[in-house]
Structure 1
Amino acid sequence: MVKTYKCFIGGQWVEAAGRDWIEVENPATGEVFARVPDCGTEDAARAVEAAETARASWALLPPVERADYLYRICDGLRRERDHFAKLLVLEQGKTLDEAGFEVDDTIRYMSYAAEAARRIQGEILPADAPGEQLFIFRVPYGVTLGICAYNYPLALIGRKLGPALVAGNVMILKPHEATPITGSEFCRIVEEAGLPPGVVNLVTGTGAALGTALVENPLTRMISVTGSIRAGQAIARSAAKNLAALSLELGGNAPFIVLKDADIDAAVEAAVVARFANAGQVCICNESVLVEESVADEFTEKLLERAASVKLGDPMRNEGVGPVTTHASVERIDALVKASIAQGAELAFGGERGSGSFAKGHWYEPTVLLNAEASMKTVADEIFGPVLPIVRIGGYEEALSIANSRPDGLSAYLWTRDSSIFMDAVKRLETGTIFLNKGIVGYVNGFHNGHKLSGLGGEDGTHGLEGYMQKRTVYMAY
């Protein structure tokens, strides 16, 4: 049975003005299980108007009162943890265990934001003249827009909405068209938590028309985006029309650098876990391994043995790696792998779409490529799928050159016991996050940001909260 959802605008559940619909597929089977409104410019205008109506009164609430609403949303997510986990499996394809962790992460993001209600700080500075005082206040932007990618449909909402609301903003959520169901169900929790109408709104849709209408509306003052570099560049161009503030968390191509003195066993485990988590659809995943020649044979042998245990499986039963989320992703991944093999890479295993019981849906086998080179498509481009190419390097300087020559810079992994290389990498590795002898992780009190084409601004921690506030300076004579 196909379930029909609606948009959430001004506290009301509404259809798109044009009465058009988007079908939502289960990536494991390719079957349509739900449909959502395909909104357009009129719906975007309604959402912005509803947010603007709620803006002033929400901003005047004390931050601790705004935080209380976030805690209520977290309570609702806890009560329905299993329900939301199964929704994530159904629409995104991650395993049930990974989906449960995503629900937990969403609660952590929003709880952390709520706890920051008493840590919103201004500044009191001395004036240059007697009988005067200088203040700098942090104030909300007003109407904000949260545009979410498909790899973490719920966590990205919590990551954006929590700090936006506690800072005094209102927000319009725009989920990816492939994964809108979790967002719609999330707004049901928002409704049950009793938030004032218009503080949180959700519109669903495809195409540039909806996104452009939301971004270019003069009432939209801040835009937070998680998505591809191409999408971020397009949004930045549109946002320039009204000089709206931007936080862009965009794509990356993280190298996993293994030097000759690394803990090989630990590095192998970290490389496999990071690459195949969520079917490789994590922006800070290791996209390629750069391993020093003197330990390359040992590392490769152990990695192949460990990675061979990673199989496709029913994500609802935690039986193995699930599907990638969209058919377009399968097409792109397959094209990258074929291009690299044509360039001379050796296929160790995988390299095929799903077959047999995995013939339907959006499946791609866990894949390892040997004898890859930095110029090959699977190394040079972001794969965003379960494919790991291995490149042999001469040493640290070559790895640094390969990493820094890329136009993006979201994350990188470095495995070595040499503390001088640690410190050199901190200064010279051009990326927003560095994992030193550490596997993939993300803490709510860290800061998730990219350098170069991987974005502007960032999310999480005190710096992420800061991104949802602008400064107001007051010169006072008394």
Structure 2
Amino acid sequence: MADVKQQDLFINNEWVKPTSGNYTPIKSPATGEEVGQSAEGNPQDVDKAVAAAKAAFKGWSSKPASQRADYLYALKNLVERDKERLATIITSEMGKPIKEARAEVDFAAGLLRFAAENARRLQGEIIPGEREGEKILIDRVPHGVVGAIAAWNFPLALCARKIAPALAAGNTIVLKPADGTPLSGLALAELVQEAGIPAGVVNVVTGSGQGVGVPLVAHKDTPLITMTGSTPAGKKIMAAAAEHLKEVRLELGGKAPFIVMEDADIPAAVEAAVTARFFNGGQVCTANERTYVHEDVYDRFTTALKDRIASLKVGDPMDDATDMGPKVNETELEKVDGIVQKAISQGAKLELGGKRLTGGAFDKGTFYAPTLLTDITPDMDIVQDEVFGPVLSLIKVKDFDEALTRANDSRYGLSAYLFTNDLSRILRMGRELDFGEIYVNRGSGEEPQGFHHGYRESGLGGEDGQHGLEAYVRTKTIYLNA
């Protein structure tokens, strides 16, 4: 096991000290205490990792799919075995409540399981040729070395989301965890080592975007780049990848509308709206960013919503009773507060929260109060800009037409929600709501067998399920003649 306090880089199945010799302290957003140190990787370290992954590719890709699956099953079993330890690491470095961290570990295990189950389902095609006796084979083959960049809001699951399909498809991988939350990814690397996955197949290089992310994306030997993060960062990655005309998969920001019609189950809709907004402190790309409620049930919904938000317990994320922990860091807290204050200055009404929590244990961390804003108008910045924090914007609409129009008025197109019992509305939603992932009469939370993807500035490609797995292979056309 790597030293808990000073974590090295994981390259070629060994723990390697960074070329720089430097380490970055990782601090708990709840207490401000140092919970570990991660190596500051640089371009030379990236070169070493890519070289190791490239050398391992031939042997790994030639293994039968069933053998690759067995390694992934072994990794899944170790993740499940170490559930509590991994959840504790997630909470200590990122700040989400421990009960949510446990759910993240379960999701990571589910991603590994799906990839293992479906490694043998990456099937090709045989097409009749135009020449006598000819067959045209469309094969699916791995890309090679995958360059992967994970975000900080799900520090374990997002690493598993990259590793699992990459390995199932026969690729090797160099992974960069988020520089503020690298410990979960490094803990997963420890389990990769324990699972006996061959040297060089999985490599984890920690460090900054400039020191590790940019050289990884620009490297000539990483033909596929997969990244989860912000839209501005995604645009930079796409530009950097252009030099070598790489395939790029980007899962970026969101501005999810949450539509509640007059025939909805109001208690269920309220619960789902709160969960979809305040889960993980609102730091989720699929979070409920704009809540559109039909005018006939608006007052009833608002009363119940205020009561439910007020009941949320904010505090120590290691406490099983806590509903919401701190923001991940000071910068993110200030960003969210700035968005709230701007909305108020533009005419929004503050119903709840709207401030940093202070006093007692709150003084040691970056806690922001669960916030509710009403009197939101379409011209306000908060309607268009991703908040990525515990702020719910409540908006009254007169009918389904207005709800659809307002929902689609966004540069993002990742996730959306609809609560109604009207089948005609649900069918119309499928045609007209312009988002890649829509939750009907339920709260948030994608499944490993689904397909998590967005439109417009929410990204390119997608993750999870069979469609996500197929992103990790490319086609090769072979004209077969005897």
Superposed structure 1 runs of 4+ greater than 6 Å apart: none
Aligned residue in 1 for 2:342 = 339
Q: Is 1:152 aligned with 2:162?
A: no
Map 1:207-246 to 2 at 5 A. Answer: 207-246=209-248
Q: Select the residue among 319, 329, 332 that pairs with 1:329.
A: 332
Map 1:297-336 to 2 at 5 A. Answer: 297-320=299-322, 321-336=324-339
Q: Select the residue among 437, 458, 469 that pairs with 2:441.
A: 437
User: 1:138 and 1:220 mapped to 2: Cα distance?
Assistant: 18
SS in structure 2 opposite 1:294? Answer: coil
Map 1:47-196 to 2 at 5 A. Answer: 47-196=49-198
Which deviations, in whole Å up to 9, do the C-alpha atoms of 1:13-57 show, x marking residues without a partner? 112111122111101012222111111111111111111111111
SS in structure 1 opposite 2:257? Answer: strand
Number of residue pairs matched by the alignment: 478
Gaps of 5+ in 1: none
SS in structure 2 opposite 1:359? Answer: helix
User: 2:259 and 2:340 mapped to 1: Cα distance?
Assistant: 21
Q: Percent identity at matched positions?
A: 45
- How many Å apart are 1:2 and its aligned residue? 8.1
Asked whether the 8 Å contact 2:179–2:209 carries over to 1, the reply is: no
User: 1:439 and 1:25 mapped to 2: Cα distance?
Assistant: 31
Which deviations, in whole Å up to 9, do the C-alpha atoms of 1:150-174 show, x marking residues without a partner? 1101111111111110100001110
Q: Is 1:32 aligned with 2:34?
A: yes
- How many Å apart are 1:118 and its aligned residue? 2.1
Gaps of 5+ in 2: none
* Root-mean-square deviation over aligned CA pairs: 1.3
User: 1:262 and 1:83 mapped to 2: Cα distance?
Assistant: 40
- How many Å apart are 1:201 and its aligned residue? 0.2
Asked whether the 8 Å contact 2:140–2:473 carries over to 1, the reply is: yes
Letter in 1 for 2:344: I
TM value normalised by structure 1: 0.98
**Higher mean C-alpha displacement, 312-321 vs 236-245:** 312-321
TM value normalised by structure 2: 0.97
Which deviations, in whole Å up to 9, do the C-alpha atoms of 1:203-237 show, x marking residues without a partner? 11114242111011110011111101111111011
User: 1:2 and 1:437 mapped to 2: Cα distance?
Assistant: 43
Aligned residue in 1 for 2:273 = 271
User: 1:251 and 1:260 mapped to 2: Cα distance?
Assistant: 29
- How many Å apart are 1:11 and its aligned residue? 1.3
Which deviations, in whole Å up to 9, do the C-alpha atoms of 1:164-209 show, x marking residues without a partner? 1010000111000110001111111111111111100001111424
Letter in 2 for 1:381: D
**Higher mean C-alpha displacement, 251-260 vs 463-472:** 251-260
User: 2:107 and 2:417 mapped to 1: Cα distance?
Assistant: 22
Letter in 2 for 1:234: K
Q: Is 1:470 aligned with 2:474?
A: yes
Map 1:405-416 to 2 at 5 A. Answer: 405-416=409-420
- How many Å apart are 1:428 and its aligned residue? 1.2
- How many Å apart are 1:374 and its aligned residue? 2.5
User: 2:77 and 2:439 mapped to 1: Cα distance?
Assistant: 33
SS in structure 2 opposite 1:23? Answer: strand
SS in structure 1 opposite 2:243? Answer: coil
User: 1:99 and 1:210 mapped to 2: Cα distance?
Assistant: 27
User: 2:64 and 2:210 mapped to 1: Cα distance?
Assistant: 37
- How many Å apart are 1:441 and its aligned residue? 2.3
Letter in 2 for 1:459: E
Aligned residue in 1 for 2:203 = 201
Q: Is 1:417 aligned with 2:421?
A: yes
Aligned residue in 1 for 2:21 = 19
Asked whether the 8 Å contact 1:354–1:360 carries over to 2, the reply is: no
Q: Is 1:402 aligned with 2:382?
A: no
- How many Å apart are 1:406 and its aligned residue? 0.8
- How many Å apart are 1:416 and its aligned residue? 1.8
